[in-house]
Copies of this chain bind each other. A is one copy, B any other.
């Protein structure tokens, strides 16, 4: 099915929504979702549907969809699985164009018959369906939260996930890390709308800068690669593949009923389509954060500036392991570093040791990027009692404004960096708590740069 823009806009910015299976009982999904829509601040009409209730959360409750005498753009279904195919039909008759089916109890629990019946209904109706067995969606732009998950804050990263629970856990985590989300889609069993459709929609979404994608298995590999590639040309996708190992793939099978393929196939597919592979859950946030701030790194020449040997060694190991380069400063830059005291190490990493006061950090950083040589930088700062991390952060922020290369930081000392972190955050310098996570974030920028360079050299039509 071709992407139906109208239906998709009904999912994310409907004028009205019916919640079929709305409940008045706190703790029930049918209550929590309605509550999220109401309390989230949705501006459209909200119609709870429940034959046994008069009113929920101050809203008039309808006995059935037919009782609503107005147009309904979107229906959210939370009723028992066997009732769902019939409800899809009713929605279609009512003229609803988009349906989110939260209800579980289909192929994921072995009920293939019911899922087949559902698919048949959808095919006959003129609707688009997200789910079943999903956690719903979020559009923070419209304060629209038809989901049982947390209402996270606004940002420019959108999150597409096959596993609803994982999505929910990640949203909660995003919230505790202060990371904003733009749109969230849990697509569950994907009987109609697949990851490919959502990716296509997000490609055109002006509010989404970076896409996080968690997949366990895709239904149509060829289409996935084509679409992901088209999307990647416009904005980065950070992808995590659940079920990479054989045993993991078995777990996927019993979980979503979808077939997770062999590791290599997925890795090649991701690579070909420009999807940046996250190797663990931290990567998902770390990569998308850095890619929401910087477009890419145009090469793999990285310089490390530090005041502490150990963390710089760890970063060097990680960057090297990831195939990035840490060349020594070329002579012209080396000359500009001559102001540094004898005991500072002027290789790469440049180690200021105890001479790493805010002023020296700034001057060194300026020198390192005074020539068009390094593609990106990692600034490590381990504050001590005699080094004010806030002052270091201020200087780095200032210098950073004059450098058009991506810079990430690793301010590393718990309590001692507490006040520096919000400053870096505000000024859009991504900070990571360990040298390894900072190194991996730089890798993501380099990987993105490689992809963009490759497609440019092919002068591929976008």
Copies in the complex: 2
Residue A423, interface by CB 8 Å: no
Q: Which residues in chain A, 23-68, are within 8 Å of chain B measured between CB atoms? A: 27-29, 32
Report the Cα distance A384→B168, complex, angstroms.
8
Residue A165, interface by CB 8 Å: yes
| The residue from B109, B150, B163, B316 contacting A248, defined by CB atoms under 8 A apart | B316
Known: A243-B317, A255-B313. A414 touches B172 (CB 8 A): yes
Give the secondary structure class of A's interface: helix
Known: A27-B386, A308-B166. A317 touches B244 (CB 8 A): yes
Cβ–Cβ contact A166 & B382, under 8 A: yes
Q: Nearest residue in B to A388 (C-beta to C-beta)?
A: B27
A137 → B minimal CB distance (Å): 16
Known: A109-B342, A280-B436. A250 touches B310 (CB 8 A): no
Cβ–Cβ contact A110 & B414, under 8 A: no
Q: In the complex, how many residues of chain A place their beta carbon closer than 8 angstroms to a beta carbon of chain B?
A: 78
Q: Which residues in chain A, 340-357, are within 8 Å of chain B measured between CB atoms? A: 342-343, 345, 347, 349, 351, 353-354
Cβ–Cβ contact A175 & B248, under 8 A: no
Residue A245, interface by CB 8 Å: yes
| The residue from B165, B254, B320, B353 contacting A104, defined by CB atoms under 8 A apart | B353
Give the interface of A toward B (CB within 8 A): 27-29, 32, 104-105, 108-110, 148, 150, 161-169, 171-173, 175-176, 214, 216, 242-248, 250-252, 254-256, 280-282, 307-314, 316-317, 319-321, 326, 342-343, 345, 347, 349, 351, 353-354, 382, 384-386, 412-416, 433-436
